[in-house]
Amino acid sequence: MAARAGRTHLWVLIEHPGPWPASAPDDVLPRVLTDRLDSVAGLIRVVLIRRPHNRQVAAPTCLLAWSDGIRQWMREGAVESYDDLVDLPFETMAAGLEPNFGRSRRTPFFAVCTHGKKDACCAELGRPIVSALTAIPNADVWECSHIGGDRFAANMIAWPSAVYFSRLGADSAVEAVNSYLSGQLALPHLRGRAALSLPAQAAEHAVRSATGISATDALEHVAESATDNGTTVDIRMAERYFRFVLRLGLPQGSFDHGCGAGGTVEWNRWIIEHLHEQTDVVAHSS
């Protein structure tokens, strides 16, 4: 599952009590809002969120979160109507400009997919995770609609870094959240950093595996280029410089997934052809 996080820069997290059909957030939010969001260029993802055990929503919360993998911001506010979100400057937000909406937020935010109408695994495996996490002091944990990767359930994203943790159980989810709250990434269930491309996610995961660097914000620079052999990724973490050459391997054996009406899936592994730690390198910020 490593390096399989769907790429997103701007997250639009909108409180909605449910129920959520398989098509959510489409067919749940006003058409004028979904059309507006669909018209914006950029790596944007809209996700519905709801508080555990609370289906009463008077003024829906909206959390806006942006990251390019290095820089990041979050804004949080409440609206009287979903239509009030239509006029937000999504174009400039998608480019990384922090809006004048609500208030700035720095407290970590966690969302666990429990979107059972999308895939039964998300509900069956995600809800016990939510129950385990709500017992953690100072952990702001919500349920959310589909965030990708049903085959990796249970899935959770932690903001502001927008990192995916997958194939979680109750104990591993608690470990991941406690580590994140202390500024560290729990590597065993880390799927990837959503702001990065898949090759860059693979490179970050490999650096952390090889070096033991665990600080969430250790990533300082990423650059990549295509080569005849695959993709070259230059990465700086904790003031150390690394160069990777990666390529996709042959498809792995397919397998069935799903707790009910799942399907057959297969994918390619990332193969690291070359890994070298460089010294005396001057890297420019991405």
pLDDT in tens, 5-61: 999 999 999 999 999 999 999 999 999 999 999 999 999 999 999 999 877 888 999
Look at residue 283 and tell me whether its pLDDT is greater than 50.
no
| Residue 52 neighbours by CB distance under 10 Å | 14
Identify the structural domains of the chain with CATH numbers, from first to last: 10-189 (3.40.30.10), 197-278 (no CATH)
Chain position carrying tokens 């690291």? 272
Residue 249, both tokens: 């391997």
Q: What's the pLDDT tens digit per position in 238-262?
A: 999 999 999 888 777 666 666 655 5
Q: What is the mean pLDDT of residues 116-131?
A: 92
Q: What is the mean pLDDT of residues 80-101?
A: 97
CA dihedral over 236, 242, 245, 246, signed as positive or negative: negative
Look at residue 282 and tell me whether its pLDDT is greater than 60.
no
Average pLDDT, the chain: 91
Look at residue 286 and tell me whether its pLDDT is greater than 50.
no
Residues 6+ apart with CB under 8 A from 96: 9, 66, 68, 71
Query: pLDDT category, 284, cuts 50, 70, 90?
Result: very low
pLDDT of residue 275: 87
pLDDT of residue 280: 59
* Residue type for position 19: P
Judge contact between 117 and 22, C-beta under 8 A: yes
pLDDT of residue 80: 95
